[in-house]
């Protein structure tokens, strides 16, 4: 076991799992959590990651998991929240139950983890918290209102935490990936420009975290620049583009 311990929440598959592999390869001791035990066990066998099954909707289980990691590994130097939930809805549909499920997992799930992790990092004298948001949080995307809203809130949360936790020696960063080829995006029924492989995303995240001090780690670069440019457009032009994406005609 090294002196550096990372905990990846949502680390069983996809981006989280590839990030776990990359950190292990760079000499980190890695704990991984997710709802399904089988992928966690597979990561333990293949890369030595320490499995801690967890549903982020269960606040008591989150606290118990933090205590378990501390008891087994001693500390948490880096926590990466890489949990995501998305449900496909038709444009103009705002079903409360669907929104509640998405926000409860993607945003409130992060808060359930952040609270005890911040307390632990204060006790140990510092650490780093990384929130995996999305380029979908740059602005309100058609067909993804709940997902975009939650990711936008996560970006704002990371910005606030970055300032507020600095005096405690706790660094906060945000990761904003574009489209990554995973089981999560396999359900999308629309074109995904600049789609990259999960292992590529994992490498970019690990390199961004360990080889730079950037607050935002966002990729692919061309896609990020396009989306940020759209965000800066005057609203009449911005909404014209959004209507085309949604297939909605102006009444």
- Number of neighbouring beta carbons within 10 Å of residue 115: 14
Q: Is 147 a catalytic residue?
A: yes
What interhelical angle do 221-231 and 235-246 show, nearest 10? 120
The residue with tokens 């994406």 is: 245
Q: Given phi > 0 = left and psi -120 to 50 = alpha, else beta, which region is 27?
A: left
| CA nearest neighbour of 107 among 140, 145, 152 | 152
- In the block, tokens 């405690």 appear at 168
Decide if 56 contacts 132 (C-beta within 8 A): no
Give the containing element (helix H, strand E) for 177: strand 170-177
Residue in 94, 99, 147, 235 annotated catalytic: 147
Q: Where are the alpha helices (DSSP H) in the chain?
A: 14-25, 37-47, 59-73, 96-103, 109-124, 145-164, 198-211, 221-231, 235-246
DSSP per residue, 18-31:
HHHHHHHHTT-EEE
User: Which residues are the active-site residues?
Assistant: 147
């Amino acid at each position: 076991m090294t002196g550096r311990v990372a905990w990846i929440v949502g680390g069983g598959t996809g981006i989280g799992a590839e990030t776990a592999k990359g950190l292990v390869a760079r000499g980190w001791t890695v704990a991984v959590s997710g709802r399904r035990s089988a992928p966690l066990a597979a990561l333990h066998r293949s890369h030595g990651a320490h499995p801690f099954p967890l549903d982020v909707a269960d606040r008591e289980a989150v606290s118990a998991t933090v205590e378990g990691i501390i008891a087994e590994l001693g500390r948490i130097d880096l926590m990466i929240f890489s949990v995501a939930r998305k449900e496909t809805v038709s444009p103009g549909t705002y079903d409360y139950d669907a929104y509640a499920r998405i926000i409860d997992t993607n945003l409130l799930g992060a808060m359930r983890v952040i609270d005890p992790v911040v307390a632990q990092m204060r006790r140990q004298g510092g650490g780093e918290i990384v929130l995996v948001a999305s380029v979908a949080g740059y602005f309100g995307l058609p067909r993804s209102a709940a997902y975009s809203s939650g990711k936008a809130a996560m970006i704002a949360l990371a910005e606030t935490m970055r300032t507020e936790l600095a005096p405690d020696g706790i660094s906060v960063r945000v990761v904003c990936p574009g489209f990554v080829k995973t089981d999560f995006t396999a359900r999308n029924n629309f074109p995904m420009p600049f789609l990259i492989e999960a292992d590529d995303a994992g490498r970019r995240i690990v390199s961004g975290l360990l080889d730079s001090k950037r607050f935002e780690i966002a990729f692919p670069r061309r896609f990020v620049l396009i989306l940020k440019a759209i965000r800066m457009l005057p609203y009449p032009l911005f909404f014209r583009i959004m209507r085309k994406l949604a297939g909605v005609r102006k009444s």
